[in-house]
């Protein structure tokens, strides 16, 4: 992982404003080091202009009508769909691949939709729903027809969800006891969306045993959220697996210093395992001197 990419990604993620496409395309350089974001931003701009033209030509001007037009354009005319058959394919997390293949997972399809909607003058925000990222057209009291918030599922052709749909989806991903409340329907800002994209990508690479790429993802995770102790630990474990012993020891020793010493049973067990790993790494490094 090049330091330049880490710096560019973090800088783009911290820029004010709602632009998600820029940092999301920089993220794709994990797999495509020579990728130039501008060529893909041009394609998003073109989709946004086309959507805006269709909105202006529509008979109605209310939020639901504008949403309907943009939804039909993105999922109908452009043909963006959820990749059900290859959900764990890392390409589903790279915005350039999602645009080129018209396939993705909920969060990357959501990014495409938000970027197109923003260019068509419709505010749509991300929702950090457990296990299945959603979209929301926020409530608007000035909308005389229907000012309520509108929830959208980007993985299923932009379907509009009611409370019953959301409870059913929540039970599927979080269990029967999960409650539909303000936390499960919390708005996701730019940073939260990028972190979730990175976590999805990390899991995909780990499942494929693509450990060098998984470690690259943890570099971006830790840079974007230095308080993410789990990612610091995982970066160390991945470095150890790749025989980068000095880097692994540095991360795991830091994790031991920062993680709570009097946590629950799971935390204590994790500390014991990491401490055993640290001792092994110290022996390995000592044998090399």
Domain ranges of the chain: 3-188, 227-288
pLDDT at residue 24, as a whole number: 98
Helix/strand/coil for 183: coil
Secondary structure element (H or E) that encloses residue 211, with its range: helix 211-224
Task: State how far the Cα of 99 lies from the Cα of 77, in Å rounded to an integer.
Answer: 14
CB atoms within 10 A of CB 14: 11
- Helix %, strand %, coil % of the chain (to 5): 65, 5, 30
- For residue 18, what are its two tokens? 């709602």
pLDDT at residue 262, as a whole number: 80
pLDDT at residue 177, as a whole number: 85
φ, ψ dihedrals at 152, nearest 5°: -130, 140
Task: State how far the Cα of 80 lies from the Cα of 158, in Å rounded to an integer.
Answer: 10
DSSP state of 154: G
Per-residue pLDDT reduced to its tens digit, 9-40: 999 999 999 899 999 999 999 999 999 999 99
CB atoms within 10 A of CB 260: 10
Rg (CA), the chain: 21
Please classify residue 227 by burial: count the beta carbons closer than 10 Å to its beta carbon, then call 0-12 exposed, 13-18 middle and 19+ buried.
exposed
Residue 97 · residue 108 · CB < 8 Å: no
pLDDT means per 10 residues, the chain with 289 residues, are 89 94 97 96 98 89 90 98 96 98 98 98 96 94 82 97 94 89 94 98 97 96 96 97 96 95 85 96 90
Residue 197 · residue 93 · CB < 8 Å: yes
Task: State how far the Cα of 202 lies from the Cα of 167, in Å rounded to an integer.
Answer: 28
Q: What pTM did the predictor assign?
A: 0.94
CB atoms within 10 A of CB 133: 24
Q: Sign of torsion, CA 224 173 19 88?
A: positive
Cβ neighbours of residue 157 under 8 Å, at least 6 residues apart? 71, 75, 76, 81
pLDDT at residue 1, as a whole number: 59
Is the domain spanning 3-188 CATH 3.30.70? The answer is no
Task: State how far the Cα of 65 lies from the Cα of 70, in Å rounded to an integer.
Answer: 9
DSSP state of 95: H
Task: State how far the Cα of 78 lies from the Cα of 72, in Å rounded to an integer.
Answer: 9
Residue 198 Cα distances to 59, 82, 110, 274, 286, angstroms: 40, 18, 15, 23, 34
pLDDT at residue 168, as a whole number: 94
Secondary structure element (H or E) that encloses residue 151, with its range: strand 150-153
Task: State how far the Cα of 98 lies from the Cα of 110, in Å rounded to an integer.
Answer: 11
Per-residue pLDDT reduced to its tens digit, 186-210: 999 999 999 999 999 999 999 999 9
pLDDT at residue 282, as a whole number: 96
- For residue 37, what are its two tokens? 């974001």
- For residue 119, what are its two tokens? 């260019």
pLDDT at residue 67, as a whole number: 95
């Amino acid at each position: 992982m090049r330091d330049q990419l880490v710096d560019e990604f973090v800088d783009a993620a911290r820029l004010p404003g709602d632009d998600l496409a820029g940092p999301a395309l920089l993220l794709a350089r994990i797999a495509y080091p020579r990728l130039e974001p501008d060529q893909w931003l041009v394609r998003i701009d073109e989709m946004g202009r086309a959507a805006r033209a269709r909105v202006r030509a529509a008979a109605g001007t209310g939020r639901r009508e504008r949403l309907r037009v943009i939804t039909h354009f993105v999922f109908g005319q452009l043909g963006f769909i959820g990749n059900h058959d290859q959900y764990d394919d890392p390409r589903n997390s790279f915005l350039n691949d999602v645009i080129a293949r018209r396939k993705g997972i909920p969060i990357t399809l959501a990014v495409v939709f938000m970027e197109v909607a923003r260019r068509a003058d419709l505010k749509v925000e991300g929702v950090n729903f457990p296990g299945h990222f959603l979209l929301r057209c926020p409530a608007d009291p000035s909308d005389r027809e229907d000012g309520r918030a509108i929830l959208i599922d980007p993985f299923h052709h932009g379907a509009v969800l009611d409370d019953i749909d959301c409870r059913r989806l929540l039970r599927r991903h979080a269990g029967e006891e999960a409650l539909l409340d303000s936390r499960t329907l919390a708005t996701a800002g730019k940073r939260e969306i990028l972190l979730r994209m990175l976590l999805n990508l990390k899991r995909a690479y780990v499942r494929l045993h693509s450990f060098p790429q998984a470690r690259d993802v943890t570099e971006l995770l830790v840079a974007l959220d230095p308080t993410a102790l789990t990612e610091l630990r995982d970066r160390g474990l991945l470095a150890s697996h790749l025989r980068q012993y000095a880097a692994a020891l540095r991360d795991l020793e830091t994790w031991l210093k920062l993680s709570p010493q009097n946590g629950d049973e799971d935390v204590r067990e994790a500390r014991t395992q990491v401490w055993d790993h640290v001792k092994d790494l110290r022996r390995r490094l000592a044998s090399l001197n």
